[in-house]
Structure 1
Amino acid sequence: MSELFGPQTPWDTSASPDLVQLLTPEGQRVDHPDYRFTVPEGADEAEVIRGFYRDMALTRRIDVEATALQRHGELGIWAQLLGQEAAQIGAGRALRPQDFVFPTYREHGVAWCRGVDPLRLLGLFRGVDQGGWDPEATNFGLYTIVIGAQTLHATGYAMGMQRDGVVGTGDPERDAAVVAHFGDGASSQGDVNESFVFAASYNAPVVFFCQNNQWAISEPFERQSRIPLYRRAEGFGFPGVRVDGNDVLATYAVMQTALQRAREGGGPTLVEAYTYRMGAHTTTDDPTRYRLSDEVETWKLKDPIARVEAYLRRGGFAGDDFFAGVEAEAEELGTRLREGCRALPEPDPVALFGDVYAEITEELAAQRDGYAAYLASFEGVA
């Protein structure tokens, strides 16, 4: 492709004025003219940041344990998020209870923020969960495997919110928004661009949150676009912003602003969280075949968890006892996931029919009964 379109060079964002950053890789707080990190009224800022650290550390432990379980044959596959914890926790914690999330298959950190039991995630990848969690209980949709399809679902749901009268009322307990998660690779899909058209045309209360982890499986982003991703929003008529996706404070601040704009009736926003996938695309992928180890090592210096730890330690906001406590909690979580994954029961095949409609139709009931009779015919057969 480079031969057809000429050489392309990755954009250096380290000193870009367009990159929103509030916490440097060294753990230093910095100011931004348009975005500030603010916590809910009455909350203690240091406590909130300690909570972010805990969220990221436990999310990483979920990822590490799931990867190990797949390597031991307990999961069929696993989509890793190593290195993207700040983007997901910052976006997840900026949500209000009434907001709704449409994820891809990698939003384990957002699922954590929405109260989805990590064992439910493992059940999907183990192949013993026929329907996943209840979206109505968490306002967190089911994982989407079809690349980019969830952005259309999110836009349609956001348009429904408008018609339900839960946008722009001025009531903070009522006004709601939608977040559509996708990756840089998905941004090249037609579904994503169609959702941009509909969201802009109807001024839908949706935030498009793209985790640009630099690689669409084995294809670098600079071969997909001639301009930075967040600037695509201009062509559709709504704002775009690029945030340091390894900075949980900046991600939280940007998402707070974008979500509030949507809730108030201001329309869609495209947020590009500029981050890096330090692991593989999935456990079936070997990233050493298409990227340099030097690149990975460079991004390790921008580790999202390490920078928050540096800030907390340097400012005296957390000491050894706190970090030891989080590590102990991570160990307990790891044990629960290992034991719980292996203990997940095989599903009842007939139960699948109960997850199609709120009230089962006569036709579907007949299919269910016929399938149950078919399964029963094998009873006692060696």
Structure 2
Amino acid sequence: MTPISSPPRATGPAAAAGTARAGLRSVLGAAARHHLAWPCLVLLALLGLNVVLTDGFLAVELKQGHLYGGLVDIARFGAPLILVALGMTLVIATGGIDLSVGSVVAIAGALACLHISGLDDQNSVAGVLTAVALALGLAVLLGVWNGLLVAVGGIQPIIATLVLMVAGRGVAQLITDGQIITINSAPYKLIGAGYWLTLPFCLIVAAAITALAALLTRRLALGLFIESVGGNAEASRLSGIRARGVLIVVYAFCGLCAGIAGLMISSNVSSADGNNAGLWIELDAILAVVIGGTSLSGGRFSLAGTVLGALIIQTLTTTIYAIGVPPETTLLFKALVVTAVCLIQSPAFRRRVFRRRGPRGGGAAAEARRDVPEEVTS
């Protein structure tokens, strides 16, 4: 028999260039399919728009030992939303939702400011630490209450947290007696408006909480338990996972994050407003989670995507102010942009809008290939 020889391979510069182009296409295709690709592109687009609209937007200056600049302001003002969105991410990963985070933000800020306003010396570090401990303790208890209603009481998460959303806002107004509590405390102001090691202190706190959440969910088994409960709670119970305990811990963590955000917001303005503090922040947090790629049906989650989503929301707010959108249409404009971002992220939407025609004669096989979701083919 005559052996069958393989065709000779092309060599030379042309073949090397073709191989390089194929490798580059493969890398770009893999990057485009990554769940963080579209949020990163959207964030870069918004930042680019701000560069065009605002002179020196990317400039970061060091004045009196503090960093100042447009990027620093976005991170500083976005820190409370990042924290609330982190807690919301873990709750949504279990298949639930927490609509009460805005009320918890108001309650935590109101209780801390009320305690500080009653001190003989509002600059007392011990007194401020006591106020912070009381506020965060109450925030965690409120989170545990939500978790008990969902895990033990069997109430739907949207209903259980809606109760605290309505009642909690009233509790915050009772704490403040319907007034705006104003304080003058330098140690408390550090939380939301102070600087440490040249960086905004609130940004350092947000980074620490994000790192802690990533450590607990990605380096320990807690993240797998959360995803398991969100994917199939009954199967998780049968496999030995204590779904009730996981739910209570997740809602408690969400309450803690909302409480820290409440301290940041109230300390930034040195006052507590039980009616307006944290108003609608729960909706921005849910949007940040969705933009970050976490599914509302539960299961897998992405903390990095949530941080990106929160930064997108804050950058969008900054962009709206830079463009000069009228205040009465700000929410509508924001909703339209977020809707567009979510549609661009959707593989099904991109497949329908940017569908490429297959080769001629592909027939039913080509049509079937086009209908396979990107997640399956990747």
The alignment's TM-score, normalised by the length of structure 1, stands at 0.23
Bigger Rg, which one: 2
Q: Which structure ranks higher in relative contact order (CA pairs < 8 Å, sequence separation ≥ 6)?
A: 2
Structure with higher helix content: 2
